[in-house]
Chains A and B, each alone.
Chain A
Amino acid sequence: MTAPLLKVTDLHTHFETRAGTVKAVDGVSFHLNRGEVLGLVGESGSGKSITGFSIIGLIDKPGRITHGSITIEGRELVGLGDGLRHVRGREISMVFQDPMMTLNPVLTILDQMTMALRAHESISDADARIRCVEALRQVRIVDPEQKIDFYPHEFSGGMRQRVAIAIALLHRPKVIIADEPTTALDVSVQAEILVEVKALVAELGISLIWISHDLATVASISNRIAVMRYGKIVETGPAAEVLGAPAHPYTRMLLDALPSRSRPGQLLGLDAGDKQASEMRIAHRPVQSQSGFVTVKHAVKRFEWPTSFCSRLGTRMNLVKPRSAVLAVNDVTFSIARGEALGLVGESGSGKSTLGRMVCGIYHPTEGDIKIDGASVISTGQQGRKLTTRVQMIFQDPFASLDPRRTVGQSIAEGPVAHGLTTRAGARGYVAKWLEAVSLDPAVADRYPHQFSGGQRQRIAIARALAMRPDVIVCDEPVASLDVSIQAQILNLLLTLRNELGLTLLFISHDLSVVRHLCDRIVVMYRGRIVEEGPAESIFETPKQPYTRMLLDAIPRLASEEPVLEEA
């Protein structure tokens, strides 16, 4: 066996803060062989990104590598200081999560790539252009001769990430560190990038460290997997072994938390073979079928640019091009039965969030009407006001959806007090009741949102929605920004609450496995229209539309997933 290409030994990266030392990376050792893909998996705060940054030497103050060694082909990188610049980009390069943040918006792709080239070699403009076009072609960008003069905003998210990969590949590095490179992308784009990266790794013989929170994507690309937690690697081994027969309880917990590995409707995080699990499974309560409880008829939402006098004058004089309106939702009709959970699935830009906001009465539909139990959600007129409290919403980002300057109790109580569900005097008790319903200690009502973790905040947001005693809850990607294990807790909570309170759910998500787990029926949206609709089972088993099939094929799967599904 040859010596490994990259070797990390007992790496400690610490951050000195006023509150004390944060041991972000606390004794990590691993190696990377030539041509190998190592998946580095962990939840947020596990130190996986900091490990990547430590290798490439991008740790900012107050952080620093306090102990350990990183060697590439036997050369020590720790303590190299400025000398690392000769290594960075040429021998080790990095691809980041958000390509919009890493590409300079005011420079063309050519300029940026030339700059990267000139960091390590002197090259004429003509040669640089040839090299860059070649690099773009390598990452399967169509028409690279023209595209090279584009600005980053003229590319889609997936294309931008391809450009970032092309830049990382420019100097033929030996190692590429990819930090959550597909997290910001749609599933279908992610699938393409995964296939291409796999092909590139095989073709060029580079080694790759793939950092991700998503076990499934890591599983689909890596030879070996290292699982991190609290700055330490808890388990490492060949991908199939780690996922098939996890040795560490934490790995097992992560796997069990995946909705794709359990039967729909089952509480997550329980061992599939556990006897208790089948008892804990929440049976779908027979719904008192009142079909058409929520009805959306021919809903259209057009976002128009405000036309002022000056812009109209400019348009008339042919000085300004009229900006076209954006048709976010285009003639959508569907209904939800009482007690049903409807999944609304689509990629970014499909109009699913806009539709959800119309159902919840935040946006006014341009045309069509939306009713709950026969009553309109919003009054007519463009400045319509929301008329009902029977539909409430849970937002994606629990850090943004709670007012930072109001206590949790105030946030939960404001709606019920204003709408007479409780009195000002009785608010405390009322809030306590709903905090208990979402498994939080009622004593936390006096704290501010910053004192809670993401999962706890999402519970608070759920409590706020429930405190209005709604019949319908619109959930807009409620678990998209949460770690897998927290996601499982929130999904379990939603499953339980739905059953106990007989809630009707409109569940918006880009994550098909989550939707399948929670929903009875699924609506697939594409470019503002519904392309397919039907019971969850049949959509997943026999999708009729090619778009739906493409979405389903794009989901990265764990190798060990299939038997579990068959069993179910």
Chain B
Amino acid sequence: MTLSLTKPRAGSEFWAEFRGHPAALTAAFVVAVIIVLAILAPLVAPQDPYDLASLVLRDARRPPGYVGMGGYTHILGTDSQGRDLFSAILYGLRISLQMGLVAGGIAFAIGALVGSTAAYVGGRFEAFVMRLIDLQLSFPAILMAFVVAALLGQGKSQLIVALTFSQYAYFVRTAHGAAAAERRKDYVEAALSIPMSGWFVVTRHILPNALPPLIVVATVQVASAISLEATLSFLGVGLPPTEPSLGMLISGGFQYLLSGRYWISIYPGAALIVLIMAINIVGDQVRDQLNPRLKK
């Protein structure tokens, strides 16, 4: 009895297909560069925007290319407090990414578990959980996040709670849909007939098989968490001024937009757009590749 060993592992096949799409590849590269820059911000940035001592108020609102009192060139200009914008953007990206990934990750974990458990248990529990999720999804995410953030006050962990709260429902619904389809499959019945425990069946059988659509939702939701965070910070209910995220940089420059000092808002805004777009393009490609119906 011979076995075909020609079929490559699923992962390498996935990557091979991914490489065939230049737009997705570029986007993935951009995301990777931004992540590396954000992680290495203290090394790359010419100035530490947290270090108040290094800020010179005389250098405030200078245009790109201005050589400041500190001796270095502000390639993207400075903001209203004399901070080097390039450095501030790098540090801002760091916070934005951190918020998006942490909130997205927590929402992913909660949503996957709640959704697949609801699908597995079924009956009244399922009906109750899913109607609750429907109710929450009928409000705009920004509204939910705004209310929670306003109630909890400013701060990193408060914001993570607010973001998670506005995101987890999407994961629950997706996980529930995928898990409900898996629940009816023979291999789940086979495991139950051994008998294996419900927890084992949910975590080892149903969840891994329900993962592909969740990964797609995760890419979209991380991007949306980042923009939500920026929005909340822009509106002033997000992070405290000591944690300058991209949203706060944008809002800080907002009042100077019409007076010709465009760079204070535009550059952080551009960074935000590039990051969110790149994540979305990668997410679209992942979705297309994981959707068996689009397979040739």
Contacts and interface: CB of A to CB of B under 8 A. Distances in A.
A444 interface: yes
A403 B7 contact: no
Contact of B190 (A361, A401, A405, A447): A401
B260 interface: no
A418 B204 CA distance: 13
B192 interface: yes
Contacts of B205: 403, 406
B187 interface: yes
Listed residue (A306, A385, A403, A439) with the most chain B CB atoms within 10 angstroms of its CB: A403
Nearest to A395: B186
A468 B194 contact: yes
Contacts of B204: 406, 414
A380 to B, nearest CB: 16
B255 interface: no
Interface string A445-485: 00100111000100001001000100000000000000000
Interface stretch (B61-69, B146-154, B195-203, B213-221): B195-203
Interface in A355-407: 357, 360-362, 385-386, 389, 392-393, 395-397, 400-406
A90 B253 CA distance: 74
A400 B185 contact: yes
Contact of A362 (B123, B127, B189, B208): B189
Contacts of B5: 451
A441 interface: yes
A357 to B, nearest CB: 8
Interface residues of B, number: 25
A94 to B, nearest CB: 25
B193 A360 contact: yes
Contacts of B127: 308
Nearest to A398: B186
A171 B205 CA distance: 51
Nearest to A383: B123
A362 B193 contact: yes
B7 A451 contact: yes
A163 B131 CA distance: 43
B6 interface: yes
A395 B1 contact: no
A415 interface: yes
B157 interface: no
A414 B195 CA distance: 10
Contacts of B209: 403-405
B163 to A, nearest CB: 30
Given A404-B209, A406-B204, A418-B194, A456 B3 contact: yes
Contact of B193 (A392, A400, A403, A440): A392
Nearest to B190: A401
B247 to A, nearest CB: 39
B196 A414 contact: yes
Contacts of B6: 19
Contact of B1 (A386, A393, A406, A440): A440
A147 B3 CA distance: 51
Interface string B1-44: 10111110000000000000000000000000000000000000
A470 B193 CA distance: 12
A536 B81 CA distance: 94
B257 interface: no
B3 A447 contact: yes
Contacts of B194: 389, 392, 414-415, 418-419, 468
B191 interface: yes
A439 B1 contact: yes
Contacts of A447: 3
B197 A395 contact: no
B156 to A, nearest CB: 36
Interface string A276-289: 00000000000000
Nearest to B198: A385
Nearest to B200: A418
Given A440-B1, A456-B3, A405 B208 contact: yes
A288 B6 CA distance: 49
B40 to A, nearest CB: 36
A361 B195 contact: yes
Contacts of A397: 186
Given A386-B192, A406-B205, A400 B187 contact: yes
A274 B194 CA distance: 41
Contacts of B185: 400
A361 B197 CA distance: 14
Contacts of B208: 403, 405-406
A393 B208 CA distance: 23
Nearest to A401: B186
A418 B197 contact: yes
B143 to A, nearest CB: 29
A149 B187 CA distance: 41
Contacts of A362: 189, 192-193
Interface in A1-48: 19
A444 B3 CA distance: 9
B3 A400 contact: no
Contacts of A395: 186, 189-190
Contact of A451 (B3, B189, B197): B3
Contact of A414 (B1, B4, B7, B191): B191
B187 A403 contact: yes
Listed residue (B6, B187, B194, B204) with the most chain A CB atoms within 10 angstroms of its CB: B194
Nearest to A308: B127
B191 to A, nearest CB: 7
Contacts of A440: 1
Listed residue (B5, B185, B192, B195) with the most chain A CB atoms within 10 angstroms of its CB: B195
A450 B7 contact: yes
Contacts of A439: 1
Given A405-B208, A451-B4, A400 B196 contact: no
Given A400-B186, A403-B205, A418 B7 contact: no
B191 A452 contact: no
A393 B191 contact: no
Contacts of A403: 187, 191, 205, 208-209
A393 B200 contact: no
A421 to B, nearest CB: 11
Given A306-B123, A401-B186, A405-B209, A361 B4 contact: no
Contacts of A393: 190, 193
Contacts of A404: 187, 209
Listed residue (A357, A405, A419, A461) with the most chain B CB atoms within 10 angstroms of its CB: A405
B187 A402 contact: yes
Nearest to B197: A418
A230 B65 CA distance: 72
Contacts of A419: 194
B196 A415 contact: yes
Nearest to A464: B190
Nearest to B127: A308
Interface string B127-146: 10000000000000000000
Given A401-B186, A403-B209, A406-B205, A456 B193 contact: no
A404 B212 CA distance: 13
B70 to A, nearest CB: 55
5 contacts: A362-B189, A362-B193, A385-B195, A406-B205, A419-B194
9 A-B pairs with least C-beta separation? A400-B186, A415-B194, A386-B195, A401-B186, A405-B208, A403-B187, A393-B193, A401-B190, A395-B186
Given A396-B186, A400-B186, A439-B1, 11 more contacts: A362-B189, A386-B192, A393-B190, A395-B189, A401-B186, A401-B189, A403-B187, A404-B187, A404-B209, A406-B205, A451-B4
